């Protein structure tokens, strides 16, 4: 069926749940927003591309969900509370059922976090989706990648590796056991750690989300902080589902180098460590996996032995193979 | 040559002219911005696609310029002062000379308007560029499409049609006469009417930018305002360059239906009309082309005769041919 740009916007994207701070929403040349003088504005933008960030046969609802989830994860890593989003939707054709699915997935997550769609663009072209989110954080309370100090403890939320394992389940069309389905959902429906990020504001010395793989992202955090880190493979949170589907070695590989988990990697000064157990674990399980060192680089050990890293994270332009 | 995502950002996009309201810029999970309690935030997002919004052989510098220009035009149409931008760059490969050109064109315009690049995403895929801009406007002073009243006068800034004519010059590889080159530049380097938009805040009853063609966009303004308009073809601003290259009929076609001019279409209450001549023409020539009516729809006349419209504007998904 043929739908015009204005039909698409009116049918699938306009007139959703209002926010009082949206003074002028979708439909004009731009949106007009009321800002908070007592907060700082936090802005993130992420793009997902058909066949690069998700398999080409991914359901439209999962693509819509993902486009926002990866952005909310960035806000979570800053300790910010989400408020608004804009959407650029580049589509090969205007298919009503695809658009219905996409908007359902997008707004399922948006409504959960009170995020209003305030504008964007709908154009014809290859399937590329860009979302920008904006949110609020208290002055001087945002989290960065650059605050880690030698001696700080390195934590990760939840479990890492399951999303990459889930992508393997999809790509290899593995049997749909309960564990395989669980892994697949971890790839398709990552849960942005917004509540955890808010709780981390007064606890963490540095934070970032794990999108390109634990080691790659920890390396970025260390570079930004001018330090290094030692992590112990035996401390990594265990995934029962991953262990049921993959060999032990592959599980460690996925945990260290698999991307797309959207968990939060963070560092905590030793004296703040009791607060992690007391204040964070009610929000989401957090596991200490290592320590920050003064030496540059990330050292990976298993007990007392160096652990040889078989995979590295994903860099779109480095010519390296995708890790997942 | 092969460049990683971080190299691309560091070499071509980071560490540009700072703004004091950018508390944390490129390089973390998100940007952190200081907001103005005495202003409203205005946000626009536009996407341009290779082969859809610009010919595939367009120079990288012109693509970079265009990606921002079309967004600044939206802010201009709201009466807002630009402040920040984010950039999503989806690229088939990381070519150093292309990136150098793109960033030169982008920042040429950004620096002219004091716009800071605060973040974004760089991914591999087909050439699709999304920019979001944000800026500021005084409370209750933003311009919308919806404020036109019957009896208001309809104006357009500058000259319309030249950009579409310029695209024809490019596509038909016409001889490079001075007039043809001027038209081509009007397509490749549209000048966002930011200063005009600021001046219009206390003069115009409604405003929007002309991106899809004068008649199409005037129709949108009328729909948003719940009114109609009569315009007179003989009142359209004349383009000497266009007349030198194209027949008279084609010139009218381009003026009425050609897109990509990024001029400002606005309406003014009759009692404000003297201010247009007095206050606006120093900023940029503005021409009255018609009047707002209570009847819906846009009527196009030449003197007392109805003028038959041969082209309509461009809607990506309506299955219609592109007007330009």
In this prediction, residue A5 carries a pLDDT of 82
Residue B1 has pLDDT above 80, yes or no: no
Structural class in CATH, domain A5-137: alpha beta
CA distance A182 to A159: 13
Report residue B124 as tokens.
Answer: 């591999």
CA distance B211 to B205: 20
CA diameter of chain A: 63
Q: Which residue in the set A32, A50, A317 is minimally distant from B4, CB to CB?
A: A317
> What is the residue whose two structure tokens read 């699709």?
B128
CA distance A116 to A84: 5
pLDDT for B178-188, tens place per residue? Answer: 999 999 999 99
User: Block means of pLDDT (10 residues each) for chain A, length 324 residues?
Assistant: 77 88 94 94 98 96 98 98 97 95 97 97 96 97 97 98 96 96 97 97 97 95 97 96 94 93 98 93 94 93 85 51 34
Cβ(A301)–Cβ(A231) under 8 Å? yes
CA distance A99 to B195: 38
CA distance B227 to B229: 7
In this prediction, residue A316 carries a pLDDT of 53
Task: Name chain A contacts of B316, Cβ cutoff 8 Å.
Answer: 5, 122-124
In this prediction, residue A321 carries a pLDDT of 36
Q: Verify whether the Cβ–Cβ distance B49 to A124 is below 8 Å.
A: yes
- Among candidate residues A172, A82, A81, A90, the one with its CA nearest the CA of residue A126: A90
In this prediction, residue B281 carries a pLDDT of 86
In this prediction, residue B322 carries a pLDDT of 37
Q: How many CB atoms lie within 10 A of CB A271?
A: 7
Minimal CA separation from B176 to chain A, in Å: 31
Nearest chain B residue (CA) to A77: B29
In this prediction, residue A73 carries a pLDDT of 98
Task: Name chain B contacts of A317, Cβ cutoff 8 Å.
Answer: 2-5, 7-8, 91, 93-94, 122, 124
What is the location of CATH 3.90.650.10 in chain B? 153-306
Report residue A296 as tokens.
Answer: 């540059």
Label residue B303 by pLDDT band (50, 70, 90). confident
pLDDT for B93-131, tens place per residue? Answer: 999 999 999 999 999 999 999 999 999 999 999 999 999
pLDDT for B154-180, tens place per residue? Answer: 999 999 999 999 999 999 999 999 999
What is the location of CATH 3.30.1330.10 in chain A? 5-137
- Of chain A, the end-to-end C-alpha distance in Å amounts to 36
Residue B313 has pLDDT above 60, yes or no: no
CA distance B28 to B181: 43
- Among candidate residues B92, B207, B106, the one with its CA nearest the CA of residue B147: B207
Report residue B33 as tokens.
Answer: 């911005």
Q: Verify whether the Cβ–Cβ distance B208 to A28 is below 8 Å.
A: yes
Residue A102 phi, psi dihedral angles, 5° rounding: -60, -50
Q: Tell me the CATH number for domain A153-306.
A: 3.90.650.10
Q: How far is CA A279 from the centre of its chain?
A: 22
In this prediction, residue A71 carries a pLDDT of 98
> What is the residue whose two structure tokens read 């038209």?
B183
Task: Name chain B contacts of A84, Cβ cutoff 8 Å.
Answer: 43
In this prediction, residue B102 carries a pLDDT of 98
DSSP state of B251: H
CB pairs A-B closer than 8 Å: 227
Residue B320 has pLDDT above 80, yes or no: no
Strand A286-293 and strand A228-232: the pairing is antiparallel
**Alpha-carbon dihedral sign for residues B43, B86, B24, A113:** positive
């Amino acid at each position: 069926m043929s739908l015009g740009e204005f039909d698409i916007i009116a049918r699938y994207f306009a007139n959703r749940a209002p926010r009082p701070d949206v003074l002028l929403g979708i439909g004009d040349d731009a949106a007009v927003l009321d800002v908070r003088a007592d907060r700082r504005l936090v802005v993130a933008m992420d793009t997902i591309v058909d066949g690069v960030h998700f398999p080409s046969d991914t359901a439209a609802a999962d693509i819509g969900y993902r486009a926002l989830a990866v952005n909310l994860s960035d806000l979570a890593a800053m300790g910010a509370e989400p408020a608004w989003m804009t959407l650029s939707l580049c589509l090969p054709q205007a298919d009503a059922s695809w658009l219905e699915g996409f908007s359902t997935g997008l707004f399922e997550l948006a409504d959960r976090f009170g995020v209003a769609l305030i504008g964007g663009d709908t154009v014809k072209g290859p399937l590329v989706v860009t979302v920008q989110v904006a949110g609020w954080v208290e002055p001087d309370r945002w989290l960065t990648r650059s605050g880690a100090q030698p001696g700080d403890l390195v934590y990760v939320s939840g479990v890492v590796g399951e999303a990459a394992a889930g992508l393997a389940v999809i790509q290899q069309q593995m049997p749909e056991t309960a564990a395989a389905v669980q892994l697949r959902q971890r790839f398709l429906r990552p849960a942005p750690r917004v509540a955890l990020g808010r709780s981390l504001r007064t606890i963490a010395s540095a934070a970032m989300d794990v999108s390109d793989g634990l080691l790659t992202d920890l390396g970025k955090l260390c570079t930004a902080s001018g330090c290094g880190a030692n992590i112990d493979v035996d401390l990594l949170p265990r995934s029962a589902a991953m262990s049921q589907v993959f060999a032990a070695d592959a599980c460690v590989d996925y945990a260290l180098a698999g991307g797309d988990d959207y968990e939060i990697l963070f560092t905590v000064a030793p004296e703040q460590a009791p607060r992690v157990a007391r204040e964070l674990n009610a929000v989401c399980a957090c596991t200490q996996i290592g320590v920050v060192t003064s030496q540059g680089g990330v050292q990976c050990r298993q007990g007392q032995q160096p652990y040889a890293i078989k995979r590295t994270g994903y860099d779109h332009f480095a010519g390296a193979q995708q890790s997942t």
